[in-house]
């Protein structure tokens, strides 16, 4: 399997705080890779750095065979790397359809007619077609999460970084989302999911990384990784029976 995204000893500091400490990982084309970790472990920073919103102090990030460190987010998106936000950021005053059309325009590289066609397809896929004419600000939270997905997909990415798209969803909605992500992968899109909800990651990911205090502490198949002592400790405190830290 060819490598699509590769991080090599990526370090990101905010003042004295090291948010990412020499993180190396690779994502193969067509994979679903999960990244889990407790609050503040650096998951969102990892995505922000990979998508060009933050510039790492050290290390290299390669996407589709070329280094993308220092490129603008819009440029990185144009190369085929899309991302959703943990805190949804719809263009609230614009209609749901316009939101997705803007993604499908790919910064002006598609015609409006093509963009409209792609947008209609993607809205169908995520089940938002009935809401297409509504202002995006009127959507419920689960719908806004699907809109984030739709916008990202409309840019015709090779890989999507999905930041906590299950958070705040009810169990039935989580199952729906899992089904949707499988469908998207079925179309040849590589997915990297950051998720608090370990159940969703276990159901989807073929490989998994665990972040803790900005460092990777485990990687491998989900069912193996989840039982490693370092992972259990990161989530629940020490394994010798002393009380867990919140």
Partner 1 sequence: MTAEILVQAMVLGLLQGGIYALVAAGLTLIYGVMKVVNFAHAEFLTLGMYLAFSAYTLLGVSPYLAAVFALGLVFVLGAAVQRTLIRPALRHPQINQLLITIGLSTMLIGAMQIIWGPRNYVVPLPWGRATLGLGDLRVTYTRLIAFGVAVAIAAGFWVFLKRARGGLAIRAAAQSPDAARLMGINVERVNLVTFGLGTGLAALAGALIAPVFFINPTFGIDYFLLPAFVIVVLGTMGNFVGAMVGGLVIGLAESFGGLLLGAALRQFASLAVFVLILLWLPRGVFGGRMT
Q: Which residues here bind partner 1, judged by CB under 8 A?
A: 51, 53, 72-74, 77-78, 82-83, 85, 89-94, 98, 101-103, 105-109, 112, 115, 137, 151-152, 155
Task: Output b/e per residue, 178-201; b: 16+ Cβ within 10 A.
Answer: bebbeebbeeebbbbbbbbbeebb
Q: Are residues 82 and 152 in contact, defined by beta-carbon separation less than 8 angstroms?
A: yes
Least distance from partner 1 to the Cβ atom of residue 162, Å: 12
Q: What span, in angstroms and rounded, lies between the C-alpha atoms of 208 and 226?
A: 9
> Helix H segments across the chain?
43-50, 73-78, 96-104, 112-126, 141-154, 171-186, 198-204, 222-225, 229-236
Between residues 143 and 212, which has the closer beta carbon with respect to partner 1?
A: 143
Least distance from partner 1 to the Cβ atom of residue 218, Å: 29
Residues counted in the chain: 246
Between residues 101 and 197, which has the closer beta carbon with respect to partner 1?
A: 101
Least distance from partner 1 to the Cβ atom of residue 163, Å: 11
Between residues 164 and 210, which has the closer beta carbon with respect to partner 1?
A: 164
Between residues 94 and 203, which has the closer beta carbon with respect to partner 1?
A: 94
Say how many C-beta atoms besides its own lie within 10 A of residue 235's C-beta. Answer: 16
Least distance from partner 1 to the Cβ atom of residue 50, Å: 12
Least distance from partner 1 to the Cβ atom of residue 146, Å: 15
Between residues 102 and 217, which has the closer beta carbon with respect to partner 1?
A: 102
Tokens of 196: 């608090």
- What phi and psi, each to the nearest 5 degrees, are found at residue 142? -60, -35
């Amino acid at each position: 399997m060819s490598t699509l995204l590769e991080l090599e000893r990526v370090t990101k500091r905010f003042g004295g705080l090291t948010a990412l400490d020499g993180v190396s990982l690779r994502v193969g084309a067509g994979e679903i890779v999960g990244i889990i970790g407790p609050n503040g472990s650096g998951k969102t920073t990892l995505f922000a750095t990979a998508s060009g919103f933050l510039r790492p102090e050290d290390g290299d990030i390669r996407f589709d065979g070329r280094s993308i460190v220092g490129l603008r987010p819009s440029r990185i998106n144009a190369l085929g790397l899309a991302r959703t936000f943990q805190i949804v950021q719809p263009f609230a005053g614009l209609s749901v359809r316009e939101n997705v059309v803007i993604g499908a325009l790919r910064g002006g590289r598609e015609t409006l007619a093509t963009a409209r066609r792609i947008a209609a397809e993607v809205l169908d896929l995520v089940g938002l077609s009935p809401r297409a004419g509504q202002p995006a600000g009127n959507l419920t939270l689960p719908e806004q999460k699907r809109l984030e997905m739709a916008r990202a997909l409309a840019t015709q990415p090779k890989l999507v970084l999905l930041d906590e798209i299950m958070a705040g969803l009810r169990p039935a909605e989580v199952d729906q989302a899992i089904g949707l992500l499988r469908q998207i992968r079925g179309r040849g899109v590589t997915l990297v999911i950051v998720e608090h909800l370990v159940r969703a990651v276990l159901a989807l990911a073929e490989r998994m990384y665990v972040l803790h205090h900005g460092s990777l502490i485990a990687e491998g198949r989900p069912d193996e990784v989840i039982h490693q002592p370092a992972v259990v400790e990161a989530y629940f405190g020490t394994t010798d029976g002393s009380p867990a830290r919140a």
